[in-house]
Structure 1
Amino acid sequence: MFFTMNQFIENIHLTDYKKSFLILCLIFITFSCASEDVDPDEEFRDQAILTYLMNSATDPIASCQESYQSALNCLSVAKEFPLPIVNESVLSSVFTSGQASNFNQLCSIQRSNEVYKNFTDRAFACNFNCQTSYWNAKTSESNCGEQLFDDLINASLTDRNTRSCIDSCIRVTGNTSIPEDRKSLYLLFQIL
């Protein structure tokens, strides 16, 4: 014999307060059970999209510049830095074969690079924000002056958190996850 929820509640003798509480509990249990079937990838996508939509507009070039500056702050104190002079002009020139003399020009060149052609401004900025976080963490941990330049660069290219962060940036644009070997293309020092 089956009862509807209303018949069940009417047949038990409870005060209105207790009936209301019971109804709320049943509704909560119903929705809790229904949400267990949510695919974690879909849930991540939804959270990433909400985060994306809630963020204010970004300046992709400024995010890129900040990333290079954060890296320069760390790398400039590393052991065995390969350049005799360490500054924005030198680093920009090295990465663009002399086409840029500052991070603004460097980042403008990168923004027009074929690698980033399908990136929205927000995805481009997000990519560089991931790397800024990595370099700022290295600097705040005071690891920069204790490690060799090459070791810092290699660690930046293989850091799982940075790669995962970049992957999240790509997903927000509606693209699927990028293959692990392509993630290196989006890192600051992929050309070294």
Structure 2
Amino acid sequence: MKPRVALLDYGSGNLRSAHRALERVGAEVTVTSDPKVAVAADGLLVPGVGAFAACMQGLKAVRGERVIGERLAGDRPVMGICVGMQILFERGTEHGHAAAGCGEWPGEITRLEADILPHMGWNTVEIAKGSRLFDGIADATRFYFVHSYAARSWELNPEPPLPSPQVSWAQHGGDRFVAAVENGPLWATQFHPEKSGDAGAHLLENWLASFR
């Protein structure tokens, strides 16, 4: 059977591209804002484009933060993309205004310190050792980014026996930021796998494989 993925529709994100990319790698995709459907799927994909605060407002309107929390409490896969990754952190600050995020990870989303913004185009990722998300993908592989804000530090370092999250990094204009995270059933990328060609498709295949 095809893995069933709920693509969360909360008014933010390129749903069409993500839908096509997931179907390309063999998923049965349902675009939904229904919390029951989102909770019941094998995997939940949370896209995101635009401002942090606006995305959080849209997410709360469909009870998306509760859906994410309920799925994670049951050890069920969730993946965030771009601002869909950023809203998983405690807070985001844009233009001097702070907004609360989902709080799944500690830390703050802030503006990149680079001469040229947004960071738009292809870039490589410093892949975490033992990554399942990037399994079969080389460090020199390029992914497509479009953003001006990011998590520029990582603060969650649990004590053993809890496993440490696998954090992959990228750089733009000399500023280093979190490019991807694998934290139990919660995975996320700052870049857009659905716009990253064969490499992005391979990465999404790895996510689907984690369901089994």
TM-score, normalised via structure 1 length: 0.27
- Larger Cα-atom Rg: 1
TM-score, normalised via structure 2 length: 0.25
Q: Which has the higher helix share?
A: 1
